[in-house]
Structure formats: structure tokens, C-alpha cells
Chains A and B, each alone.
Chain A
Amino acid sequence: MSARDLDAREFFFGHKACAGCGGSLAVRIALKVLGERTVAVLPAGCMSAVGFNFPQLAFTNNALITPFAAAASVMTGIEAGLRRRSVKNVRVVGFAGDGGTADIGLQALSGAIDRGDNILYICYDNEAYMNTGIQKSGLTPHGARTTTTPHKGSRRPKKDMLAIVAANGVNYTASASIGYLDDYMRKIKKAAGITGAKYIHVLAPCPTGWGVNTDETVEIAREAVDVGFWPLREYENGTWITNRAPSRPQDLERHIKRQGRFKIEKRYQED
């Protein structure tokens, strides 16, 4: 799957996302891969905040906002209802942020995976609660400053969501990055062809929260993969595959230093 095969139609536009938003690119591209017979389910978060301001509704496919903790459960209900009505050839896809996935929505996601529901859950990970003003989430990496870890940065490592969903018994899971769209698109297409619960975790930088320029989103997302900060992996039938080995691990320090969020004042630095 490449940009050449991509549907020319747009399903997510006219929204109010910030310049350089990685999340909106993740949603836009995913819907182009999945097509118009897709129901998009979004809990509270950046993409629901920018996409559903009545009367300016930004999805041209069926889409809705769910309660924050309920994305996976509402997806289950939609899938069950459509199946009962024998509606064929449809996909139920979720777009939840890192907080909506790894924190408040984790229980419902675990329930949906446990039931083996036929849903595709996509976590667009910008590594903090960006919509509410950059607060720490369970997916904020160690050392990243947020407005709730304002000086010292997060003291905890990022939760390993892929390992969590794999342990819950997910049918297919993969990490992805908006810096490698061909890989992201391929994984969405693959997941759409698998029955059962699927989970894709796409790194979607937020220039505002990360402290990079708005024209650096894609570059920083690509670099995160190249330096080994965010490996591209896939898990299927109990086996892990690494899709792309880090090509320049020596640039890891530079990758971290160029992001404002990792700049810690000397007096707050710890060993």
C-alpha cells in the first residue's frame, strides 16, 4: 500500500486541529485506507474536540464522540448492532488518544479484546493530554516535561501498550508512526482484513506539546523510529516482528535534545 493507491476522497476535513497536528494526519490517512463504510468512534480527546463542533462537523463518514472511558465499549455496541441487522462490509474503527487508551479507556479496551469483538482500535499517541493543555499521561515518556510534570519531567517510563494488548489476547497489534505512512497504511489495511480485536498504536507528534516546529511533525515522527525511540513492530498469532531496525541509533541524543519537552533546567536535573 502506498500513497498512489490511496483514496482521493477526504473523510476528515474542515476541523480545527492545530497547525502541524500529527493526530489529525493519523485519522485522515486511516479513513482513506478504510473507506466510506467505516464508523469512526472517538472518545474525548484532541480529535473529538476539533472534529465535532456543531454545526461544523468534520467527518463525512458516520462518526461520533463517546464518553472518555467508553470508546471500545461503544465500538462493541455498534459492531453488535450492525451485525444483528446483517449490515455487511463495514468497519468499526476507534481513534483514541494516549490518555483515552492507556489511562481512562484501558478497562473498556481490555473488555473488548477479551470478548474478541470485531473492532479496530487505533491509539494516536501524542504522549500527553494535549487537548487539555499538555498534562502527563501513562504514555508520556520518561523525562518529558508536561504542565503536570512542569520542571523535572515525567519520572515514570511509558506504558508498553503493545505488550498489554498482546497479553489481553488481541488478534493483531502493531506500532506505527505518521513518519512512515506506507507502513501505517499497510498495517491498517492488514488489520481491516482480520476478524476479531485489532490494535494499532501510531506515534503522532504534537508540535505544541513536544516543543518542535509545526513543520517538523513528520520528520520528528520518522526520526523517532530511526533512532530507536519508537520501534515499528507487529504482533500476530503469538509472534513479534520488528518491521524496521533503527537506522541511526547514534542520533538518539540529538533527537531528544531537539524537543523542548526534554529540556530540564539544571537545578531540576536528577541523576
Chain B
Amino acid sequence: MRSFISGNDAAAAAVHLARPQVISAYPITPQTTVVERLAEFVEDGSLDAEFVHVESEHSALSVAMGASLAGVRTFTATSSQGLLYMAEVLPYAAGGRFPVVMVNANRSLALPWNIYGDQRDSLSQLDSGWIQAYAENAQEVLDLTLMAFRVAEDPSVRVPFMVNLDGFHLTHTYEVVELPEQAQVNVFLPDYDPGENQIDFESPRNFGFSAGPEWNASFHRSHHEAMLRAWDVIDQAERKFHAIFGRRYPGGVDAYRCGDAEYILVTLGSVSGLCRETADSLRDHGVRAGILRLRYLRPFPHEAVREVLSPAKATAVLEKDISFGGAGTVFTNVRSAAPAQLNVIGGLGGADISKERIAGIFESLIQGESGVKWL
């Protein structure tokens, strides 16, 4: 069924279809409509779940974690300051290997206060041990959220999953979205099987324990390896998704006209469409431009990034983020896989990124500019 809905509606629709049993959330702009819809679904009886009204984001994720430990599928959503307020619980949920799914509406961080979209919130939490994916449009929000449950809950992964969508640009703009049928979703995403990592009254367990220097690294290494194994699970999920729903997704990166590109711009999220349009225009004028959109930042698609970027003459990374005194976090990550010369910081606090400015980034690349540059 096709429906004209916002990115947040798409997220809520996906969660509805995924049938979590415990949802806990605290309101924050621009995430609010996700949880408002879910509360409606629970109250009108169309979603048979417990909606827990918590007093903070710290508790939102703590409740989800407790429910996951009790053996049910769980969901929460947040944004910006809220993500940072739950920051303590992020590595806790990840280290405990609780496959919580969270939607994060990307929003700027205070100070100065700003409710609009940039990606400083989630990028500051890359090391928390969560899978992080970034959607480009409302359809991808829905599809990624469904895949998030499947990937996070896979017995070989068991890592929480954060689906990111740009505040306002995606959360509050309306697009035509294909809503899957429940029966199809049930095939793609069967009921939750908690496996062994749950409360068991036959064979009681201790969880969330301490591990000293002699044991500590083995837990973290196993977590890291689970993240790396996630690539196969993501690949299987995307194949299955294509077979059932007819939409194909390309894994860690989405490369556009990169095959013969001399100059490549790396992007994240909703700005990518405009970047592709700019690349098309530039190609009309003889510039061999390509766009590489990162879909996943954790696990980081090292191989795919290296493969696409290595043949290019020069690469720029455009991102709505800055690690003060360093460079953009996406840039730093990209450079861990392949050479990239120019890091353009733009769109902070919801600032507009125009086609002309994007074309200007390619002009800078052609001129041989490098380092960090503000759009």
C-alpha cells in the first residue's frame, strides 16, 4: 500500500509492523511524532505492546534493556540531547548484547541550542558499540527499521541497532512510502527469539557483571567480531528483503556514478539526493563526478569504501559534524579506509546546503584543495 507520510510516520509504521512487546520513550523534538504514533497504536489496540512512560532518556533505554533481558523485542527512540542523556546506557546495552532497536532523529547539540538537523549527536556515539545506519528518505527509514530488528536479533550478531534519520529534513517532510503487508513482514521478521541471553528460572544466570583485566578484552573482542559478522547478516537481510518486498539495498555504501569518477564526494543521509543531482549536472559539463553515500558507519564499510575511492583522483567528505580541533568524524573514518583530501563541514544546526555549494566542493577538489573547509 502506498501512503503519503513523514519520515517519523515511516519509522512508527515499521515499528508497528515489527511487533515489539515493550516500547519506552521520552519525548524530544524532532523524535516526538514517532512515539506519539506508537502510543496511539498501543491505545487503539492495533499494537499489542506495553508503552512505558519514562521520566528520562536514561530510563528509556534502561527499561528497554531490562525488557530485552526478560526476553521480548524492544524499541525506543530519541534525538540529540536525549541521546547524550542516555549515553551511559548505550555501551551498557551493547556490552550486555541486548538487541534493542532505536530510532534517532539526528539533531544538533547544545550549546548553542538548536532543534534542527545535523549529525553531531549520533556521530559522537560511534564508539558505544551500536550498529549505526543512516537513511536517505522516508522509504529507507521504514525499510532500515525493519532490517534493524532482523540484524540486531540475529544470533550471530546480538548488538543493538540505531537507525538515524535527519531531523526535520526526514522526520517532518512527507513522501510517498510503500507500506509492506503485515503477512510479508512476518515472513521477513519472525517473532523474537531471545536465545540464551535472558532471564531463566530453570537455569538462573547473572548478567551485567564485572570482568577484570584478565577477562575484559575477551568480551570486547567478541563484541567487535559480532559487529564484523553483521555484514553477512546485513547482506542476507537485504537479499531476503528484496525477494519479499522488491526493494534492493546495497549494504554499507550506496555508490552513484563512481565507477569512472575522478572526483568523489562522500555523503551521509538526506543531502545525498541533491549531491547526486549536482554530480549529474557536473557530468554534463565534463566533470567526472561521483557520489558515495555511506549507509552504515558501524560497522564501518572499510572494504567497500576502499574499493570505490581508491581509483579516484581526489575525494571530499561533506558532513554535518565537526570534532572540534580535529576534523569531521565521518572524514576521519573514511580516511581509515582510503585517501580523502578535503573535509567540508556544512549543514550544522539545519543550515541549508545548496546545489551551488555542492558544485563548489567539486571545484575545490579540482583545484587540489585539502584539509577542513567550512561550507
Contact = CB atoms under 8 A, between A and B. Distances in A.
Majority secondary structure of chain B interface residues (helix, strand, loop or mixed): mixed
Contacts of B215: 54-55
A190 interface: no
A81 B68 contact: yes
A74 B49 CA distance: 17
Interface in B54-108: 54-56, 58-59, 62-72, 74, 88-89, 92
B324 interface: no
11 contacts: A48-B210, A63-B206, A67-B89, A77-B22, A80-B22, A80-B50, A80-B52, A80-B67, A81-B70, A84-B50, A85-B21
B65 A77 contact: yes
Contacts of A53: 209-210, 212
Given A53-B210, A54-B209, A63-B206, A85 B201 contact: no
A70 B61 CA distance: 9
B56 A64 contact: no
Given A76-B54, A77-B22, 6 more contacts: A64-B206, A67-B88, A77-B65, A85-B72, A108-B59, A111-B55
Contacts of B72: 81, 84-85
B374 interface: no
Interface of A: 36-37, 39, 41, 48-49, 52-55, 57-67, 69-70, 72-85, 87, 90, 107-108, 110-111, 114-115
Contacts of A63: 204, 206-207
B59 A70 contact: yes
A81 B66 contact: yes
Given A76-B63, A77-B24, A83 B53 contact: no
B199 A62 contact: yes
B59 A37 contact: no
B112 interface: no
A64 B207 contact: yes
Interface in B34-64: 49-50, 52-56, 58-59, 62-64
Contacts of A55: 215
B211 interface: yes
A165 to B, nearest CB: 15
Contacts of A75: 66
B211 A73 contact: no
B208 interface: yes
A73 B201 contact: no
Nearest to B206: A57
Contacts of A110: 55
In the A-B complex, the 10 residue pairs with the smallest Cβ-Cβ separation, listed nearest first, are A77-B66, A81-B70, A111-B55, A73-B62, A81-B67, A70-B62, A73-B59, A64-B207, A52-B209, A77-B63
A70 B201 contact: no
Contacts of A111: 54-56, 59
Contacts of A65: 207-210
B2 interface: no
Contacts of A85: 21, 70-72
B200 interface: yes
Nearest to B54: A111
B201 A36 contact: yes
B285 interface: no
A108 B209 contact: no
Nearest to A59: B206
Contacts of A115: 52-53
Nearest to B50: A80
A70 B67 contact: no
Nearest to B211: A54
A54 B67 contact: no
A49 B64 CA distance: 24
B205 interface: yes
Nearest to B212: A53
B66 A76 contact: yes
